[in-house]
Structure 1
């Protein structure tokens, strides 16, 4: 799946969870991505974020940073 589509999807998820507040939203988005996205999708969005993350909402970017940290831990 192209990174642009994943960015759009991640941003939509971040918009939904933003109502939970700045502290809880990134964790909720990361949980959603972990539970419902295929590992290939997660690898692609993590790589996109590592390459600058063009177009990512700040909440989505924070969630993806959490995923990246989990993968390297």
Structure 2
């Protein structure tokens, strides 16, 4: 899939969760949605692209994509 389309999809999900007052809950919601709804190839592609260049991702989407590489039950970094 085109990386621009993946970025747009991730940004749309992040925009939905942006109204969540708890930033960590918003990020967790984005990660959970992507893990459950996206094909593994899509997740690999966006995490690889994100590692190379985060251009096109809004801050909340970028934080979620960074966390996407962690095991599902690991929680936010530093906890």
- Unmatched 5+ residue regions in structure 2? 75-79
State the alpha-carbon separation in 1 of the partners of residues 43 and 9 from structure 2.
12
RMSD over aligned Cα atoms: 1.6
Aligned position for 2:55: 54
Aligned position for 2:16: 16
How many residue pairs get matched? 72
* 2:12 pairs with 1:6: no
State the alpha-carbon separation in 1 of the partners of residues 2 and 71 from structure 2.
23
- Unmatched 5+ residue regions in structure 1? none
Aligned position for 2:77: none
Return the TM-score normalized by structure 2: 0.84
State the alpha-carbon separation in 1 of the partners of residues 47 and 71 from structure 2.
11
1:22-67 Cα deviation digits (max 9, x unpaired)? 2211110000000000000000000111012111011111111111
Return the TM-score normalized by structure 1: 0.90
The structure with the greater share of residues assigned to helix is 1
What's the offset of the Cα at 1:69?
Answer: 2.6
